[in-house]
Chain A
Amino acid sequence: MNRNSNTYTFLYAAGLVVVVASALAIASIGLKEPQEKNIAIEKKLNILSTVGKGIASNETDKNTYIEAQYDKYIVESFIVDGNGERKEGDAFHINMKEEYDKIKAIKQTLDEEKRVALRKSLDLPVFIYKDDDARLKCIIPVYGAGLWGPLWGYLALNDDFNTVYGAIFDHKGETPGLGAEIATQAFAGQFVGKQIFEGHTLTAIKIVKGGVPKTDLHGVDAISGGTITSRGVEEMLQDCLNGYNAFFAKNKK
């Protein structure tokens, strides 16, 4: 057959695409289960790491260990709406992106009726962690936008619903070595002991370029070379904590 004819070219292209597409589809379906399991395990590990119950490096069967730790320490999880009322539902599988979009919409709309409806429709997960001394901490997820993609993380608060007990952050595609440093303990560790309320107003936590004195209860150091990511973290905390504000206010001591 003439290799330069149009028919040959078309048939060749069509055949190639079918072969490649089926190969990719098979790979995608075949690998779906381990991939989804990785994601669920990672989420559990994230929640546990927030309160310093991360994984010991000598643990060989990482996945089983995480599952067991999660079942042991996370004693309760539930959903609250924007008014701090508890709702029925599965907190673990809430998609924070959708909730983040709602929080954004509340921020942008001026129509009071719409805001009330949106606030009521919020499904915000709360995880309750009980440490070895039976003290309770509340862990909440946060979600926002960085430079190249979404950012997310978890914040653990003491039972005064004000002081930060622990935090971790992660990202989809921030620049390695720069913005991606938000995922390190060095950055997240700075949040410990900071307070999200100033008097009775929720101020969240400021990320300050050029550094803050260690005594500042409401600010942490930004990442050099990661300005937009740092700003993204600040905004993420501001927005998401605002969503939980009513819940905090109700429980705050």
Chain B
Amino acid sequence: MTGQKEKEPLFSTKILRLFTDPISKGNPITVLVLGICSSLAVTAKMEPAIVMAISVIVVTGFSSFIISLLRNTIPNRIRIIVQLVVIAALVILVDQVLRAYAYDVSKQLSVFVGLIITNCIIMGRIEAFALGNKPWPSLVDGVGNGIGYGLILIVVAFFRELLGSGTVFGHQVIPENWYIANGGFYENNGLMILPPMALILVGVIIWIQRSFNKQLIEK
């Protein structure tokens, strides 16, 4: 992962791989095990999970892009501080925009938007990639990682909302007359809405992914 010297087309295979890698075999959550904390917190329902995913994609993309633009000017000794300032500023911007134009969802996400600042994926990608690469590949890498993160969030949220509340996007999916209260046989699994279940689901996803892709299994 060093800087490319020669001129490349905008969507070369290398660039495309930067984008697709983090979605599958370099997934920040299931392979690098970064950003676990917020994936536990906001996945009880689909809608906040999706808005969270979009917010993280915006922040990872732009922070990688901006840091990559600045990479030759940043004094090495305050490198981390500069990264944090850029990330924090972007997160506050996202939060302000959500409050102005997506007020309902921003209320549901509450503190977790602010906590994107501490999402390890963002710092991780800046340190590992954006500091040594040109702006365009860095942007692609950041967005790709954001999508990889968001995808897991959405999958986990889907199962947690479906099994925990019987709904998807707030719409009732499990038929009402299945419920014990209405004379049926079914009951929502209360454990699903508790954070530990998110961890177990992430574990299951990691298991499934590794059983399909044997390269990922550590010796």
Which residues of B from 35 to 62 have beta carbons under 8 Å from A?
A: 41-42, 44-45, 48
Q: 3 shortest A-B CB distances, which residue pairs?
A: A177-B44, A177-B193, A173-B110
Cβ–Cβ contact B78 & A13, under 8 A: yes
Q: A20-B86, A178-B193 are in contact. List 12 more A-B contacts (CB 8 A).
A: A3-B76, A9-B75, A9-B78, A12-B78, A20-B89, A23-B89, A24-B92, A31-B97, A35-B100, A35-B103, A177-B164, A225-B193
Interface presence of B190 (CB below 8 A): yes
C-alpha spacing A177/B74, complex, angstroms: 42
B101 close to A34 (CB less than 8 A): yes
Q: Is A224 an interface residue (CB 8 A)?
A: yes
Interface residues of B in 46-102 (CB under 8 A from A): 48, 73-78, 81-82, 85-86, 89, 92-93, 96-97, 99-101
Q: Which residues of B contact A175 (CB under 8 A)?
A: 41
Proximity bits, B191-202, A CB within 8 Å = 1, else 0: 001100000000
Instruction: Say yes or no: is A105 at the interface (Cβ < 8 Å to chain B).
Output: no
Chain A residues with Cβ below 8 Å from B110 are 172-173, 176
Q: Which of A137-190 contact B (CB under 8 A)?
A: 148, 170, 172-173, 175-178, 180
Nearest-CB residue, chain B, relative to A9: B75
Is A4's beta carbon under 8 Å from chain B?
Answer: yes
The docked-state distance in angstroms from the alpha carbon of A149 to that of B53 is 24
Q: How far is the CB of A16 from chain B (nearest CB, A)?
A: 6
Q: Would you give the shortest CB distance from B209 to chain A, in whole angstroms? A: 25
* CB-based contact B97/A176 at 8 Å: no
Establish whether residues A176 and B111, one from each chain, have CB atoms under 8 Å apart when the complex forms.
no
Asked if B189 is at the interface of the complex by the 8 Å CB criterion, the answer is no
CA distance A177 to B164 in the complex (A): 9
Q: Are A38 and B99 in contact (CB under 8 A)?
A: yes
Distance of A98 Cα from B151 Cα, bound (Å): 43
Q: How large is the interface on B (under 10, 10 to 19, 20 to 34, 35 or more residues)?
A: 20 to 34
Please report the total number of A residues contacting B with Cβ < 8 Å: 29
B172 within 8 A of A: no
Known: A4-B77, A34-B101. A176 touches B48 (CB 8 A): yes
Neighbour of B85 across the interface among A8, A9, A17, A180, CB < 8 A: A17
Q: Chain A's nearest CB lies how many Å from the CB of B43?
A: 9
Chain A residues whose C-beta falls within 8 Å of the C-beta of B41 in the assembled complex? 175-176
Tell me if A131 is interfacial: C-beta within 8 Å of chain B: no
Q: Which residues of A contact B211 (CB under 8 A)?
A: none
Chain A residues, CB < 8 A from B42: 176
Q: Which residues of B contact A38 (CB under 8 A)?
A: 99-100, 103
Nearest CB in chain A to that of B191: its residue: A225
Could you show 7 A-B contacts with beta carbons less than 8 Å apart? A9-B78, A13-B82, A23-B89, A34-B100, A176-B48, A224-B190, A225-B194
Asked if B82 and A16 make an inter-chain contact with CB atoms under 8 angstroms apart, the answer reads yes
CA distance in complex: A20, B84 (Å): 11
A residues near B86, Cβ cutoff 8 Å: 20
Q: Which residues of B contact A9 (CB under 8 A)?
A: 75, 77-78
Report A-chain residues with C-beta under 8 Å of the C-beta of B73: 3, 12
Q: Would B74 and A176 count as touching, CB distance under 8 A?
A: no
Complex contacts, A225 vs chain B, CB 8 Å = 190, 193-194
